[in-house]
């Protein structure tokens, strides 16, 4: 099983709390004005990498606190990313998934897409929503615009409403 990626960063401090291994998924349909990385839009761009190879790279990073799936749009490759996510969690690492979809849209999509459901549920946090230039805020930790929320997945599912995370 492969994931088409735009690239990876082995030790990031800007894609969630702590030192993190980041996978930038290739392919995005959101086409946000002001997107910082339009090179990730083409679903046929980037390079395909086996899930097992990505897991090996993650295992080699002994100092990381967690893994972040960013993009591009990770939920376009939800099935293989969910599989990798489960293996990441089995290593004792936490998992953050960025998405241009809103939480509410994902809850609708996951009703008809098992991969989306699995990626949603395996993620500890989802940072949701498109980048909106008018909402841009350079002071925000770990996100680009004020509409984007850091959502605690487990508590949001349990409470039946969005529970935003305190990490900052």
Site of interaction with ligand SF4 (CB under 6 A): 28, 30-32, 35, 37, 40, 71-73, 100, 130-131
Report the Cα 144 to chain-centroid distance in Å.
14
Cis peptide bond N-terminal to 72, omega within 30: yes
Residue 51 or 132 having the CB closest to ligand SF4: 132
Min dist. Cβ of residue 156 to ligand SF4 (A): 20
Residues 56 and 111: their CA atoms lie apart, in Å, by 32
Residue 3 or 93 having the CB closest to ligand SF4: 3
Min dist. Cβ of residue 59 to ligand SF4 (A): 27
Min dist. Cβ of residue 27 to ligand SF4 (A): 9
Min dist. Cβ of residue 100 to ligand SF4 (A): 3
Task: Could you list the beta-strand ranges (E) of the chain.
Answer: 2-12, 20-25, 47-50, 66-70, 94-98, 125-128, 149-152
Residue 108 or 133 having the CB closest to ligand SF4: 133
Question: Residues 86, 1: contact at Cβ < 8 Å?
Answer: no
Residue 22 or 35 having the CB closest to ligand SF4: 35
First to last CA, the chain: 34
């Amino acid at each position: 099983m492969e994931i088409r990626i735009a690239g990876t960063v082995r030790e990031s401090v800007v894609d969630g709390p702590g030192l993190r291994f980041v996978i930038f998924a290739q392919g995005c349909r959101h086409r946000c004005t002001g997107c910082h990385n339009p090179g990730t839009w083409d679903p046929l761009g980037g390079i395909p990498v086996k899930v097992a190879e990505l897991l090996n790279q993650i295992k080699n990073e002994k100092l990381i606190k967690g893994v972040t799936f960013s993009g591009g749009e990770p939920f376009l490759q939800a099935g293989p990313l969910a599989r990798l996510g489960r293996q990441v969690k089995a290593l004792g690492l936490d998992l953050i998934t960025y998405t241009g979809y809103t939480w509410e849209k994902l809850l609708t999509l996951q009703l008809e897409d098992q991969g989306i459901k699995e990626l949603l549920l395996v993620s500890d946090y989802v940072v949701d929503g498109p980048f909106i230039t008018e909402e841009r805020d350079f002071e925000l930790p770990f996100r680009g615009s004020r509409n984007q929320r850091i959502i605690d997945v487990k508590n949001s599912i349990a409470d039946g409403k969005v529970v935003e995370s305190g990490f900052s």
